[in-house]
Amino acid sequence: MRSAEVLDCHVLVIGSGGAGVRAAIEASGFGETVLVSKTIAGKGGCTPMAEGGYNAVLREQDSCETHYEDTMKGGAYLNEPGLVSILVAEAPQRVTDLLAWGAVFDVTDSCTVAQRPFGGQSFPRTCYAGDRTGHEIMMTLIERLASTGVEVFSEVTALDLVRGNDRVIGALCLDGKGKIVAIRSDATVLATGGGTQIFDISTNSSSGTGDGFAIGYRAGAELIDMEMVQFHPTGAVYPYDARGRLITEAVRGEGGVLRNAAGERFMAKYDPDRMELSTRDVVSRAIATEIQEGRGTPHGGVYLDVTHLPRQQVEERLPVMLEQFLKFGLDIREEPMEVAPTAHHVMGGLRITPGAGTTVPGLFACGEVAGGVHGANRLGGNALADTQVFGKRAGESAGKSPRRSSRIERGAIDAQEERLAAFLDGDVPPSIVTRSLKTAMWEGAGIFRTEKDLKKTLNVITHLSSLRLLARTEENLTECCTTQNMLLSASLVVRGALLRKESRGAHMRKDVVQTWDARNSPYGHTYQSLERCGIETVVRA
Amino acid sequence: MKKIHVRVFRFDPESDEKPHYQNYVVDVNEGARVLHALQAIHDDIDPTLSFRSCCRAGQCGSCAVRVNGVPGLACMEEAIDGMTVEPLDLPVKKDLVVDLFTFLETLPRIQPCGEPIVPDREKAELIKPLRSCIECFCCISVCPAMDVTQFDGPAAMRQELRLELDPRDRKDRVTEAVSHGLFACTSCQACWKVCPKGIEIPGKAIEKLRALANKKGLTLPRHLEVAQLVRETGRSIVRTGSTFLEDSPDTIEPNGPAKATVGFFVGCMYNGRLPATARDAMEVLKRNGIRVVIPKEQVCCGSPLIRTGQTGFVDTLKKRNIDAFVSRNLDTVLTMCAGCGSTLKRDYKTPFRVMDINEVLTKFGIEPPARLPVKVTYHDPCHLLRGQGIRDEPRELITQVADLVEMPSVCCGSGGGVRSGMPEVAAALAENRKKEIERTGADIVVSSCPFCEFHIMEHTDRPVRNITSLILDGYREKDRKKAMVS
């Protein structure tokens, strides 16, 4: 029998990226708050890796209406309108919070926060701190967190939520030594981020394994639009082991051009008006097509070239890119980069209310684990804003939850212990399973999808899920749990993709012929929970 | 795919008495990073191996390890055949996982006034480079001062300055930095040389904080005395006897045709404390065809003031020194003090080229000296190795005279005003050096910096020789043998 530590708090936050820490800061004003993070708090998730920026309406010439319209259009009108209204209205206030807490954004000569243009936006409204905007925000939040009373458990992994009387009443977690930590709470916030690590090629940190999708689903929450996965057009292809590493959109923003192996600027065939600065879904499909049709580079990408730009421009505007490529042996001032699409962001997630409440009482969700804000395709710069706007809302809603006298029953802990014990007696190392899963997902549920491939992928997932995962040591238990979460998240993506028989935003069904554009689609969200699954239909006048 | 051999530090404090190393042969792809090799070991060979990683792109600071002794991010450093991977030099939790939390907790955190103030552009530009720290703690792993005294370390000092510059922070960070060991830093430069983000903490944070401390009257009394001495005499040390400059001609002509002409910047220590060593160097230069011009009006380079944050008088010193060499139309100025050389190269904007004596001698080549029947070890001066990037040249010279036994390149404690301001810290660091020296079994310690030589002499029973003195010993031996034959 494993010894179980039992803790008690008012609000439990799971996840330490931008959304989780923002939620914890807010919740701490209402009562005792605990934050658990499977990484060192502040180092995990994708927030510290975000380069581009944070969208907020800060100028008189700009308006929340245009930010709203840009976001809806970019999201192929699948976004939840109420959530988008909140995002655009509150993003500026959350910038103010960050400024009050010490954030150092780039500034204009008149001492206001500088903003730059970003894809799909009708006004330059992306605030930034060089090309390390997410890191700047994360450092600010971590500093702020330190001045609150939030109790932080780093390197403690949430296993599952605990339900009692149809509510979520806490979570069971695992520390690095294989000991269960049970945390009872009045309210729980899931802020576990995304999960594109289920694909072979991904920009995500190694923590992006979709744990929150799986944990939420198992606790009975409903998820929407899980098929909506954004593939960023430009990921690194070399070195092979670092494939998928993000090459920022700013490279094209600065004038970088895409060429195939024959030297053609192929975007002219796909979007002659916007060329390289077309939307991410279009550029990704264009690159993938070039590679599939045999016009790729030796490393299996296409060329992204900035060698025609002045050296100084590359050095000043793209310093991190320059530094990273130099480290990998390529001087981008002299030679073109090789790039290919990479799985980047999950637009789908737990269905939330404007108050970040999920469909399960006592459970809130914010950041990438929640769905609906970004519809079928996210605009660059809207994710960081999302973490702050809905992080605050989730923390506040959770904080305002009434105090309860629930108790985590021994039975719940016993069941989890049984699950863990089985791993110590398993057959297959988790790394073998995740490797197969990633390949299957990339091949069968990637940029181009068909029912046939999706069903094949689902079969692979079902098979992999039937294997008995092996933990050689207590420390490997976490990997087994994560692998199970990846398998479940992957199945949610594939099932969502099967449910949506249309091409929309990032979701491209090659086997479906459709007569409508996104604005006139007869479909709404796909939804999946333990109880039901399907796709909403829209009745149009 | 290719096969590489990796030697990995293994230690589980809960079950192992002491650490051991485990060898693996692992398949990785071309261009793989250290992290990919570790991941492959974990996935394909040994799932019990523990290490941290997260972003895989050099942005989160989770995965720092030592590769062949040098700290760096596992996700960015290339995996090389035969490499040894060890944890940072911090308390080990298991294998390559170290306790980062103790240090994360000591980092000062902002206490904001609560107003959403936007720092102006000038302030923002000053803060931004300090802000790119990813708290990987490679710097803490290599900081020698933290091992011997209460010093919060480079990462914390960087943060103190970042907060001091921020108009939103309410605390007096300068006083806080002083109480957390600001004056313990020896300016050894080890921290920023391993910083994945290249944050120049000694120059851009520590010295700036010391300058702010100076304005608050917090400069150490001994440092004030040195500054007063420089202002009054142009020299940072008290005159105790005749100096090198007083005893030298204006120009030293070489034996035979001149290969080059250089101006000689002697520096306070070789001028006043170790003039015999400087004369040895002149002999070596003379013998190797270098004409040396010695302007007598040169003064202290200003390093003792810059390192201790007393920068008020430095511009005057710079002007006097630059004028002294410019007026003689010299295009190359030679230094033999590592500290002066680093200061002239990095803190000055000189219209002439500055070269260390090791660079000059290897560039023009030296007459082979006789081999001496001694085993020597070489102490890398911080301001030569890290300040000027000179590593191979001294070794190339030494190995022409004697057998060299290497020891780790760590600060001896004499720099950054620590010897004068915090002598107990300087002594503790030198005692660590002493142990390393003894471990080599060398007969003689060789170095190339008067501060190191003088300081190490006090802490070892082995003779301490300047590199040029050692070469000169070789020439004398050669001449002696030649005289015997004839």
Where residue A415 sits, what CATH number does that domain have? 1.20.58.100
A345-370 burial, b at 16+ Cβ within 10 Å, e below that, comes to bbbbbbbbbeebbbbbebbbbbbbbb
**Structure confidence by residue, pLDDT tens digits, A100-109:** 999 999 999 8
Rounded to an integer, what distance in angstroms lies between the CA atom of residue B472 and that of residue B370? 10
- pLDDT confidence of residue A540: 65
**Number of helices followed by number of strands (H, E) in chain B:** 24, 16
In-domain check, residue A187: no
CATH architecture of the domain with range B369-485 = 3-Layer(aba) Sandwich (3.40)
Rounded to an integer, what distance in angstroms lies between the CA atom of residue A169 and that of residue B162? 42
Length of chain B counted residue by residue: 486
Q: pLDDT under 70 in chain B at which residues?
A: none
The pLDDT-based confidence of A1 (bands split at 50, 70, 90) is very low
Placement of tokens 């001609």 in the chain: B249
B148-172 burial, b at 16+ Cβ within 10 Å, e below that, comes to bbebbbbbbbbbbbbbbbbebbeee
3-state helix, strand, coil in chain B (%, to 5): 45, 15, 40
Rounded to an integer, what distance in angstroms lies between the CA atom of residue A370 and that of residue A378? 13
B234-363: what fold? Answer: Rossmann fold (3.40.50)
The enclosing domain of A252 has a CATH number of: 3.90.700.10
Residues of A in contact with B42 (CB under 8 A): 431
**Structure confidence by residue, pLDDT tens digits, A75-108:** 999 999 999 999 999 999 999 999 999 999 999 9
Q: At what angle do helices B154-165 and B207-215 cross, to 10 degrees?
A: 50
More confident residue, B119 or A438: A438
In-domain check, residue A219: no
Alpha helices in A400-529 (DSSP H): 410-424, 430-444, 451-466, 477-499
Say if the Cβ atoms of B33 and A97 lie within 8 Å.
Answer: no
Q: What are phi and psi of A185, to 5 degrees?
A: -145, 160
Say if the Cβ atoms of A102 and B168 lie within 8 Å.
Answer: yes
* Contact (CB, 8 A) for B51 and B97: yes
Eight-state DSSP code of residue B206: I
The beta-carbon neighbor of B29 closest among A107, A240, A328 is: A240
Q: Give the contacts of B455 (CB within 8 A, at least 6 positions apart).
A: B412, B413, B414, B419, B426, B430
| CATH, range B103-215 | 1.10.1060.10
In-domain check, residue A336: yes
The beta-carbon neighbor of A205 closest among B28, B54, B101 is: B54
Instruction: State the catalytic residue, choosing from A10, A163, A245, A252.
Output: A252
Q: What are phi and psi of A523, to 5 degrees?
A: -110, 150
- pLDDT confidence of residue A119: 81
Per-domain boundaries in chain B = 2-98, 103-215, 234-363, 369-485
Q: Give the contacts of B56 (CB within 8 A, at least 6 positions apart).
A: A205, A206, A242, A245, B35, B75
Show the tokens assigned to A388: 């702050």
Residues of B in contact with A16 (CB under 8 A): none
Rounded to an integer, what distance in angstroms lies between the CA atom of residue B144 and that of residue B191? 9
Residues of B in contact with A109 (CB under 8 A): 121
Domain co-membership, A241 together with A332: yes
Q: Which residue of B has its CA nearest to A154?
A: B101
Q: Name A257's bridge partners.
A: A305
Say if the Cβ atoms of B30 and A240 lie within 8 Å.
Answer: yes
Known catalytic residue: A295?
no
Q: Which residue of A has its CA nearest to B36?
A: A241
The beta-carbon neighbor of B55 closest among A48, A432, A472 is: A48
Residues of B in contact with A482 (CB under 8 A): none
**A379-393 average pLDDT score:** 96
Same fold, B103-215 and B234-363: no
The beta-carbon neighbor of B131 closest among A99, A104, A154 is: A104
In-domain check, residue A426: yes
**A7-24 average pLDDT score:** 97
Q: How far is A324 from chain B (nearest CA, A)?
A: 8
Find, among B421, B430, B477, B424, the residue nearest to B453 by Cα. B430
Residue A367 above 90 pLDDT? yes
- Please tell me if residue A151 touches chain B, with a CB cutoff of 8 Å: no
Last residue of a domain, one of A319, A342, A365: A342
In-domain check, residue A497: yes
- Please tell me if residue A299 touches chain B, with a CB cutoff of 8 Å: no
Show the tokens assigned to B6: 């990796």
Rounded to an integer, what distance in angstroms lies between the CA atom of residue B448 and that of residue A152? 50
* CATH class name, domain B2-98: alpha beta
CA B167 vs CA A411, B115, B117, B164, B170: distances in Å: 54, 10, 8, 8, 8
Q: How far is B70 from chain A (nearest CA, A)?
A: 16
- Please tell me if residue A93 touches chain B, with a CB cutoff of 8 Å: no
* Other Cβ atoms within 10 Å of B397 Cβ, number: 24
Q: How far is B36 from chain A (nearest CA, A)?
A: 7
Q: Which residue of A has its CA nearest to B75?
A: A242
Rounded to an integer, what distance in angstroms lies between the CA atom of residue A244 and that of residue A246? 6
CA A318 vs CA A257, A520, B29: distances in Å: 15, 40, 27
Mean pLDDT of chain A, nearest integer: 94
CB pairs under 8 A between A and B: 143
Say if the Cβ atoms of B54 and A39 lie within 8 Å.
Answer: yes
Residues of B in contact with A101 (CB under 8 A): 110, 112
Q: How far is A482 from chain B (nearest CA, A)?
A: 14
**Structure confidence by residue, pLDDT tens digits, B340-355:** 999 999 999 999 999 9
SS3 B146: helix
The per-residue DSSP string of B385-453 comes to HHHH---HHHHHHHTTTSEEE-------S-STTHHHH-HHHHHHHHHHHHHHHHHHT-SEEEES-HHHH
Q: Which residue of A has its CA nearest to B30?
A: A239
The residue range of the domain holding A506 is 410-514
Residue A420 above 80 pLDDT? yes
Q: How far is A115 from chain B (nearest CA, A)?
A: 14
- Please tell me if residue A63 touches chain B, with a CB cutoff of 8 Å: no
Which residue type occupies A282? V
Interface test with A, best of B55, B115, B168 (most A CBs within 10 A): B55
Length of chain A counted residue by residue: 541
- Please tell me if residue A39 touches chain B, with a CB cutoff of 8 Å: yes
In-domain check, residue A188: no
The pLDDT-based confidence of A117 (bands split at 50, 70, 90) is confident
The pLDDT-based confidence of A321 (bands split at 50, 70, 90) is confident
Find, among B99, B69, B103, B72, the residue nearest to B86 by Cα. B69
Q: Which residue of A has its CA nearest to B14?
A: A177
Interface test with B, best of A16, A101, A104 (most B CBs within 10 A): A104
Say if the Cβ atoms of B57 and A241 lie within 8 Å.
Answer: no
* Contact (CB, 8 A) for A141 and A95: no
Q: At what angle do helices B357-364 and B275-287 cross, to 10 degrees?
A: 20
Placement of tokens 């760096």 in the chain: B72
Show the tokens assigned to A337: 């980069």
Instruction: State the catalytic residue, choosing from A10, A163, A184, A232.
Output: A232
In-domain check, residue A32: no
Structurally, chain A folds into a number of domains equal to 2
Domain co-membership, A336 together with A414: no
- pLDDT confidence of residue A541: 57
Show the tokens assigned to A496: 């969502």
For residue A124, whether the previous peptide bond is cis, meaning omega lies within 30 degrees of 0, is no
Known catalytic residue: A67?
no
Which residue type occupies A228? M
Q: Which residue of A has its CA nearest to B31?
A: A239
Q: How far is B115 from chain A (nearest CA, A)?
A: 5
pTM of the model as a whole: 0.94
In-domain check, residue A321: yes
Q: What are phi and psi of B107, to 5 degrees?
A: -65, 130
